[in-house]
Amino acid sequence: MKSFNAKKIFSLFVATLLFSSHCFAFELDTSVDEEIRKNYNPSALEQNLPVLPKTAPSQSTTTTTTNKTTPAVPKTQPVSQPFKPQLVIKKMDNDYKFDKSTAIRIKKGTRFRVKSNCVISDYQKEGTRVSFTSIKPVTQRYITINEGTKFTAVVENSHLPQYTGNGGLIVLMVDGIVVNGSTKSVHAKITKANLKKVFLNNIKGKRGYIKGISTQVDKGENFYKKTRRTSAKLADNPVGLIIAPIPTIFGAVIYSINLVGSPIFAIWAKGSRISIPAGSEFEIKLLEDVYLQ
């Protein structure tokens, strides 16, 4: 107990000495600072410093993500082409399998008078097949093509009458001949149809443009004559005498319009149709030599 009191007394004594003594202080050497202040002005240095760049306040950036969707390619349905009959020109057993020097030749340019076995019309579509029968024998060296020999042909082109006065059209290409029961391939064209000459193998209907012009003029003239008769009837009585010239004047105007405008109005005119009855006479001309075994 006595030792504890002694320790306590000693501790109080040390604390009293510490608090009663002067505060400890460090003595610093400021001579260097004074020399610097004499030679340099710190405040001037601060004034000469470059201005710091202004920085914009940071803004919060928001990124938006957009999902790009590629447009779906529309499904295209296959376009169905309009049906067009295929032109079929028959190719018979080739005549050139044998020696031409020993074969019988029907010369190029030979003409055959034939009759049609069916109606030849511009209604027949491309690819339609027709036939003809010879009505006169044709004699060549070593052979005679007898009467009744059959020829076959195919419609190569056709159309009905068209505007601007165009008539119907049909083009026939002769591609076969039957000799001694066998069909041989030929290349021939039609040079006469119904006893009329055919140019460039085109069987054409009559053009109607000139006829359309005269038709328009005739319409105007007939209308004018009708109005003159009307004016004559009106002139028979005193009341109608006043208005009698009006129909004639009106008819004269219409007649003038038809006369001047007839070349334009005739554009809507169509030519004539083609319809050659069965049994009509045609002429066929070979465009190449035909060889028979």
pLDDT in tens, 239-266: 777 888 888 898 899 989 988 888 888 8
Q: How far apart are CA 54 and CA 205, in angstroms?
A: 96
Looking at residue 160, what is its pLDDT?
Answer: 92
Low-confidence ranges of the chain (pLDDT < 50): 2, 21-26, 58, 60-63, 88-89, 94-96
Topology (CATH) of 101-207+273-292: Lipocalin (2.40.128)
Looking at residue 24, what is its pLDDT?
Answer: 45
Domain boundaries, the chain: 101-207+273-292, 210-267
Looking at residue 286, what is its pLDDT?
Answer: 94
Cβ pair 172, 129 in contact under 8 A: no
Query: In 3D, which of 207, 197, 112 has the Cα closest to residue 169?
Result: 207
Looking at residue 28, what is its pLDDT?
Answer: 54
pTM of the model: 0.57
Q: How far apart are CA 131 and CA 198, in angstroms?
A: 18
Cβ pair 290, 174 in contact under 8 A: no
Looking at residue 52, what is its pLDDT?
Answer: 58
- CA gyration radius, the chain: 59
Cβ pair 127, 88 in contact under 8 A: yes
Q: How far apart are CA 120 and CA 187, in angstroms?
A: 20
Looking at residue 153, what is its pLDDT?
Answer: 95
